[in-house]
Structure 1
Amino acid sequence: MVNFRKYISGVTLLAAGFLWAQTNVSTVLYSHNNDNSRSLSLPSPVDALEKAVLSPKDIVDINVNTMMADPVLKNATWGFVVYDPVTKKVISSYNETTPLVPASTTKLLTTETALSLLGENYRWMTQLEYSGEIDENGVLNGNLYIVGSGDPSLGTNKAGAWSYKDIVADFVSGIKNEGIKKVNGDIVIQTALFKGNLSRLPENVVWLENNNYYLPVGTTKEINPANEKLIVKKSLTTAADKKFFYVSPYANQMVYAEKYDGDGTLTTKLPDAPAYLANSFKANLVKSGVGVTGKVNPKMTDAAPESRKKISVYQSPTLADIVYYTNQRSDNSLAEALLKTVGFQKMGDQTSETGRIVVNNHLKDIAFDLEGLNYMDGSGLSRSNKVTPISQVKYLSSLMGSKFYKTYFDSLPIGGQSGTLKSMFLAEGNGQVFAKTGTLNKVKTLAGYLKTNSGKTLCFSLMVNNYAGSVSQVKSKMEAILKPALDL
């Protein structure tokens, strides 16, 4: 909070200067020698004198205090910190230790943990293998195996990932290169990484956001994602208190969403669909003249695995590419997949619960300020997520010396230029704000780095919960709060 007593002398001087400025401006604007003198566009005398009397820090502090009375923010719970990573000191703050819902700025923790624990060159592998023997007629007396590793970008074209069509074409080419003309066996899908995905969803999650529905990664069975529909049910309440529910055909669980803007059905996209890949593969094999006598058969575990030979391997984009896509577009399904992947790689169990343990342990290891932290999911969709502004900025500051900092920094949207910040900071701050955005109903957040006009790099966090008005109104207030910080 700002102590206004230290500004008394400055305000007095400012008032005197204002009167002086008004007199002098009047003299400039009007001349008896030229009654038709043109109107001059002059800078505001108040703005000019504010900058002459007050330091940039003073102006930031006063601006923050002024915002407390703003109709959009006065009844909201919000916090703000600007932090200098060189001096390790807070420059300006408000409610810096208050735990707030961070929305998608949660992805800052998830993506950094993945980069730190897995490395930026990490890739997911999807292998095509076969068991048995190929006879002199090109008949495979055995099974084909598609062995997945939980690739969240599989078939999606995200971050440069191949489409299902391209992967299938590569697999069919591999079959022909092996001389296989017929398969006397099944196509077995083997990916035990998602064995825990039929557990309950994270608590208090708004799985519907911006008219997109997010499924937990890996809950796919033998369903074509192009045909998946959600069941929309309305509770029997008054129109003013109407609620909407969605039922995942995979998790078999009703999920509450705060609002629904669609027409009653919503088509979803699956983050990982090995069954769809396998079925497409079988269909294309048959089309190309390679018969398959068996069926597509999911096999989560195999107590006595067959001896197998590798035919082809599809590699996902690098983790650096996935993190860039995740943060630029605030991709929830990729973020949830990263959570489960770090859980599997460190503890051998790819569930949300394990992922949370791994992320929390990592944050402890790097001395993250855990006061007020509640990390519930990888994406920030859960309203049970909580974090303080001060912990966010200290965390961001600590990463500046890490070996993957450039990759992490480059993944953040740029104000006025890219990603989810493309429509913000179109004037002041354009190209100077590098940050992750967050949006839920009545929650708007922003955290990242700020390049000042003097060339310094500062860390900042600005989280607003339960604001009044529209999203565009609160975004404009956030821009106004950060504008004076550009002069620090």
Structure 2
Amino acid sequence: MKYIITLCFTLIFTQIIAQDSFNPDEALLCKLSRTESKVFFSEHSKVPAVPASLLKLVTTSTALEVLGPNFRYRTRVGYTGDIINGVLHGNIIIVSGNDPTLGSDLFDSTSVDILFSQIKHSLELKQIQHIKGDIQIQFNSATVDYPAARLWEDMGNYYGGIPNNLNFRDNTIRITLQSTEVGSKVKVVDIAPDIDYYTIQSNAIAAAHQKDSAYVYGISQLQKWWIEGSIPANLEAFTIKSAMPDPSMVFVQDLRLFLKENQIEFSNNTEESTSTDGAFQLLCEVYSPTLSEIIKVTNHKSNNLFADQLFLTLAERYSGVQSWDNGVLAIESFWKDKIDYVSNFNIKDGSGLSPKNHLTSEGIVQLLEWMQNNSSHFDVFKESLAIGGQSGTLEYVFRDSKIKGKILGKSGSMESVVAYAGYYIKNDNNYIPFCIIANNFLSSSKSARKYIDKYLTAQFSK
């Protein structure tokens, strides 16, 4: 027996609900209908809705099909100039390959120490002990220096940082704040790593609550960034995360410091540093984890940077130029002859952070069904999904013993958005695609998640 479950909450969802709870007769505008061979929950399944991070299912599945599970990003490290008696009269050149994992904390193999040690070792093999020049970054593609239709209050925070031509340290900085009595202004006491060209000013205040309600505002084109909101009062150190204004600048300063600490000296000769004479000589190549590993982190941890970089990589593969518009075209080009893409998808980015993304639950189910029935990489795609009640973004939902461990999927959430999609494992060979999206509700997200969890548990455990 074949099953398809399509679940969607209407966009007007719980606007009639005033209390912080759900009345299923009023709030859940879906219904169950049965035929001999299929089970559909299809009410409002063609209503466009904001999917939040469910969009990562579209991005990661497309990347898997177009790039392949063994695809890796490559960063080339080399030099120009001449090496004379252990002195490089020229520059270290980093040729970016847009690797989103460079210096990332999310893989054992991509840490800053491992990355920089590999570069240092390549210099030692050439017996380079002194560099009369500098470290320069070369980009393979045009700069994408603006976000894709996202909210201003998201852009400066760690989850809103956009891919850079050279991504580094997850494009994230950590800001340590200090607070005193309630109502007083919070101080910035440390920024790591340093961002020499940029300043971050605190307008946040100390509050009686115990929450992180501080938000960072800024984009790379602004030299001054600032913090609004509040943090708990009377704390010596409270750390928040921010987007990194210029990852390539941080990469250069951190690598220079690392090499100096490891007895490779710099004396910046302006003439030699800016000279373009001499061919590029390769020192080493740094490879990312495989795409299968990257999409597992992307979906399990709902990583926006990885998803948006994959989106831009698809754009470059499709058109030769990384841009948000070309990413949209790349996704459509792949799916338009496989599912009813045009009628069900209107996307702006790869992560789902833009509130201008719209898709239907019907479209997501069609995509999931296609991956199940047609993709030679379906096993890899399944491995990238969280497990209900056990891991990733589904760790704390679907924990009822009737369905725990039987749902593979992805969650999506932002203000007034709660969504889930994936597969219910009926048995070893029967994966039931489903999608449920709630938009524009007045009750809390916690209440929405609780009700959806209860509803899906009841349906899948029948």
TM range, normalised to the smaller chain?
A: 0.7 to 0.9
The answer on 1:385 being equivalent to 2:333 is no
Structure 2 residue matching 1:452: 3-state secondary structure? strand
Are the equivalent residues in 1 in contact too, given 2:49–2:437 (CA < 8 A)? yes
Q: Which has the higher helix share?
A: 1
Counterpart position of 2:383: 410
Which residue type is aligned with residue 331 of structure 1? N
For the residue of structure 1 that corresponds to 2:42, the secondary structure is strand
Q: Which residue of structure 1 lines up, in the alignment, with residue 333 of structure 2?
A: 361
Match of 2:187 in 1: none
- Aligned residues, how many? 409
**1:431 paired to 2:405:** yes
Match of 1:250 among 220, 234, 248: 220
Q: Distance in 2 between matches of 1:359 and 1:320?
A: 18
Shift of residue 351 of structure 1?
Answer: 2.1
State whether structure 2 residue 62 is matched by structure 1 residue 113.
yes
| In 2: Cα distance, 1:386 partner to 1:254 partner | 33
Deviation at 1:372, TM superposition (A): 4.0
Q: Partners of 1:305 and 1:108 in 2: how far apart?
A: 46
**Residue-by-residue CA offset, 1:405-433 (whole Å, 9 max, x unaligned):** 11111111110000010011111320011
Q: Which amino acid aligns with 2:79?
A: Y
When residues 394 and 254 of structure 1 are mapped into structure 2, their CA distance, relative to the original with a 3 A threshold, is farther
Structure 2: tracts of 5 or more residues without a match: 174-191, 205-212, 233-237
Map 1:132-211 onto structure 2 (within 5 A): 132-135=81-84, 137-193=85-141, 195-199=142-146, 201-205=147-151, 208=154
1:403 to 1:205, Cα distance in 2 relative to 1, 3 A = farther
Aligned residues of 2:387 and 2:405 also touching (Cα < 8 A)? yes
- DSSP 3-state at the match of 1:334: helix
Structure 1: gaps spanning 5 or more residues: 1-56, 235-242
Cα deviation, residue 144, structure 1 = 1.4
* 1:326 aligned residue: 298
Distance 1:83 1:168 in 2: 59
**Contact persistence 2:50–2:439 (CA under 8 A):** yes
Distance in 2 between residues matched to 1:154 and 1:389, nearest whole Å: 34
Distance 2:250 2:58 in 1: 31
CA contact (8 A) 1:415 1:423 kept: yes
How far is 1:90 from its partner?
5.1
Is the contact made by 2:72 and 2:291 (CA closer than 8 Å) also made in structure 1?
yes
Which amino acid in structure 2 is aligned with residue 141 of structure 1? H
* Paired AA for residue 152 in structure 1: P
From 46, 52, 59, give the equivalent of 1:103: 52
The one-letter code of the counterpart of 1:208 is D
| Superposition deviation, residue 274 in structure 1 | 3.4
| Aligned AA (1:216) | I
Conserved 8 A contact 2:132-2:269: no
Letter of the structure 1 residue corresponding to residue 418 of structure 2? K
Name the aligned partner's letter for residue 315 of structure 1.
Y
- For residue 186 of structure 1, report the CA deviation from its aligned partner: 2.3
**Equivalent residue letter for 2:144:** N
Deviations 1:432-474 (A, max 9, x none): 1111100011110001100137973211110011223222211
2:181 paired residue number: none
Which of 413, 419, 422 is residue 395 of structure 2 equivalent to? 422
Question: How much does 1:232 deviate?
Answer: 6.9
Query: CA offset at residue 273 of structure 1?
Result: 2.7
Q: Does the C-alpha gap of structure 1 residues 93 and 157 become closer, same or farther in structure 2, counting only changes over 3 Å?
A: same
Q: TM-score, normalised to structure 1's length?
A: 0.73
| Shift in Å, 1:176 | 1.0
Does the CA contact (< 8 Å) of 2:153 and 2:217 recur in 1?
A: no
Instruction: Calculate the aligned-residue CA RMSD, in Å.
Output: 4.1
Conserved in 1, the CA contact under 8 Å of 2:30 and 2:41?
Answer: no
CA distance in 1 between counterparts of 2:93 and 2:351 reads 32
Give the corresponding residue for 1:451: 425
Pick the aligned partner of 2:263 from 283, 289, 297: 289
* Whole-Å separation in 2 of the counterparts to 1:289 and 1:439: 48
- 1:164–1:305 CA distance, 2 compared to 1 (3 A): farther
Aligned pair partner of 1:399 in 371, 378, 390: 371
Alignment CA distance shift 1:147-1:196 (3 Å): closer
Post-superposition CA distance 1:138-184 (Å, at most 9, x none): 22222211111111111112234422222111111111111112222
Alpha-carbon displacement from aligned partner over 1:263-303 (angstroms, at most 9, x marks no partner): 79953254983332322222232233322222799x9xx99
Measured against aligned partners, the alpha-carbon deviations of 1:385-423 in whole angstroms (never above 9, x if no partner) come to 111111111110011130111111111111000001001
The one-letter code of the counterpart of 2:222 is N
SS at match of 2:387: coil
2:42 is equivalent to residue 72 of structure 1: no
Bigger drift between 69-78 and 285-294 goes to 69-78
* Secondary structure of the corresponding residue to residue 196 of structure 1: coil
CA distance in 1, matches of 2:313, 2:281: 26
Alignment-mate amino acid for residue 414 of structure 1: I
**Contact map agreement 2:80 2:281 (CA 8 A) in 1:** yes
Measured after TM superposition, the shift of residue 246 of structure 1 is: 5.0
Residues in 2 aligned to 1:179 and 1:327: alpha-carbon distance in whole angstroms:
43
**Aligned residues of 2:99 and 2:167 also touching (Cα < 8 A):** no
Instruction: Give the match's secondary structure for 1:268.
Output: strand
Kept in 2, the 8 Å contact 1:131–1:142? The answer is: yes
Please say if residues 172 and 241 of structure 2, whose CA atoms lie closer than 8 Å, have aligned partners that are also in contact: no
Contact kept in structure 2, 1:79 and 1:462, CA below 8 Å: no
Q: Which residue of structure 1 lines up, in the alignment, with residue 161 of structure 2?
A: 215
Whether the 8 Å CA contact 1:83–1:458 is kept in 2: the answer is no
What is the rounded CA distance, in whole Å, between the counterparts of 2:370 and 2:257 in structure 1? 51
The correspondence for 2:323, drawn from 351, 356, 361, is: 351
Report Cα offsets for 1:25-62 as digits up to 9, x if no partner.
xxxxxxxxxxxxxxxxxxxxxxxxxxxxxxxx9xx99x
- Give the direction of change, closer, same or farther, for the CA distance of 1:449–1:230 in structure 2 (3 Å limit): farther
**Corresponding residue for residue 464 of structure 1:** 438
User: Structure 2 vs 1, CA of residues 202 and 454 (structure 1 numbering), >3 Å: closer, same or farther?
Assistant: closer
Counterpart of 1:168, as a letter, is F
CA distance, structure 2, for counterparts of residue 232 and residue 356 of structure 1? 37
Going from structure 1 to structure 2, the CA distance change for 1:147 and 1:433 (only over 3 Å counts) comes to same
Q: 1:244 to 1:158 in 2, by over 3 A?
A: closer
Q: Return the structure number with greater strand share.
A: 2
CA distance in 2, matches of 1:132, 1:83: 73
Q: Secondary structure at the match of 2:386?
A: coil
SS in 1 for 2:113: helix
Residue 180 of structure 2 is matched in structure 1 by none
